[in-house]
Amino acid sequence: MNLNTVTEVKRPTATDEIPRWREGYAYLAGGTWLFSTPQIATHTLIDLETLRWPALKLSSDGLDIAATCTIAELEQFQAPANWTAAPLLKLCCHALLMSFKIYNAATVGGNICMSLPAGAMISLASALEGVYTLWPQGGKPRKVSALEFVTGNHMNVLGPGELLRSIHLPASALEKRFAFRRNSLTHLGRSAALIVGTRSQTGEDLLLTITASTARPMQLGFDRLPSAGALRRAIDAAVKDADWFDDVHGSAPYKRHLTYYYAEQIRTELA
């Protein structure tokens, strides 16, 4: 839709061209959410595309994803063979309610900054122990873990004018075994639950990441594979009644049920 309150679009080619933050400014990434609803409080968009950040950087430490990397670019990434958890990239890219237009325009950073429970890039980064680099205006860059970034439905730790610059997925997490489960009430709909388990290749551990069914990502770590009962009790202890996310994409009891159900499937698959 046309944003008829917007009177200016700034296109910085370097970060020092980003103006001092004022009320009414908004960063523009893929624009798939920004242009989907009126933005009555916004008069100026600051386009991040013109910064031309390289989308993906692979190193022995892992994968660095620019916030401006599109879902399509991430989906097409060819990972090294020893990154056994890399299929999660594609699985999460396909876990969005997504038209062709959203697939090609939406960015990884835009999805994370939206901080919706069904944000599949949040699921991906949380499950793969991601760390975000944030650039506060006028301050030093800071690092925040994917788990700590989202604080609630459509809420996160970004301060005014603070940019999400990049997402680092460590090689140690990408080399793990994984199991993935997702469900949505409607075909191609928003996720009601997206649950991922990961385990070291040789270790006894299990890391279970719960997303979409809860307002923010939740993670349970075990040194040894828990029993079915212990896993259920750990979910009960970690996720309080108010944490289950109730919306048109599924009631809280339904999402809780899916979470227990998939967590047990994941435990069995990774045993």
Ligand X SMILES: Cc1cc2nc3c(=O)[nH]c(=O)nc-3n(C[C@H](O)[C@H](O)[C@H](O)COP(=O)(O)OP(=O)(O)OC[C@H]3O[C@@H](n4cnc5c(N)ncnc54)[C@H](O)[C@@H]3O)c2cc1C
Helix-strand-coil split of the chain, %, nearest 5:
30, 25, 40
Does 102 contact ligand X by CB under 6 A?
yes
The HSE-up count of residue 244 (CA atoms within 13 Å, CB side) is 19
Query: What does the alpha-carbon distance between residue 31 and residue 25 come to, in Å, rounded to a whole number?
Result: 14
3-class state of residue 12 by DSSP = coil
Q: Which is nearer to ligand X, 100 or 237 (CB)?
A: 100
CB of 270 to ligand X, least distance (A): 26
Which one among 18, 34, 92, 263 touches ligand X, defined by CB under 6 A? Answer: 34
Q: Residue 190 in contact with residue 97, Cβ under 8 Å?
A: yes
Q: Would you count residue 183 as binding ligand X (CB under 6 A)? A: no
CA-to-CA distance for 237 and 174, rounded, in angstroms? 28
- Residues 140-159 touching ligand X, rule: CB under 6 A, are 158
According to CB under 6 A, which one of 62, 119, 197, 217 is a site residue for ligand X? 119
Rg value, the chain, Cα? 19
36 or 172: CB nearest ligand X:
36
Write the single-letter amino acid at 174: L
Span near ligand X by CB under 6 A; candidates 29-37, 51-59, 144-152, 167-175: 29-37
Q: Which residue, 158 or 207, has its beta carbon nearer to ligand X?
A: 158
| Contact set for ligand X, span 48-67 (CB under 6 A) | 48, 67
Instruction: State the number of binding residues for ligand X (CB under 6 A).
Output: 30
E strands, 111-270, are 131-135, 142-145, 150-152, 155-156, 163-170, 177-183, 193-199, 206-211, 218-222
**Residue choice 89, 163, 194, 208 for contact with ligand X (CB under 6 A):** 163
Q: Which stretch binds ligand X (CB under 6 A): 115-123, 199-207, 229-237, 251-259?
A: 115-123
Nearer to ligand X among residue 90 and residue 177 (C-beta): 90
Phi-psi region of 115 (alpha: psi -120 to 50; beta: other; left: phi over 0): left
- Which CB, 87 or 159, lies closer to ligand X? 159
Interface pick for ligand X out of 36, 82, 151, 227 (rule CB under 6 A): 36
How crowded is residue 231: how many other Cβ atoms within 10 Å of its Cβ? 21
List the structure tokens of 48. Answer: 């991040």
Nearer to ligand X, 84 or 104 (CB): 104
Q: Are 133 and 53 in contact (CB under 8 A)?
A: no
CA–CA distance, 66 with 107 (Å, rounded to integer): 9
Nearer to ligand X, 184 or 198 (CB): 184
Residues 211-270 that bind ligand X (CB under 6 A): none
* Residue 194 binds ligand X, judged by CB under 6 A: no
Residues that bind ligand X (CB under 6 A): 26-34, 36, 48, 67, 96-97, 102, 105-107, 109-111, 113-114, 116, 118-119, 158, 163-164, 190
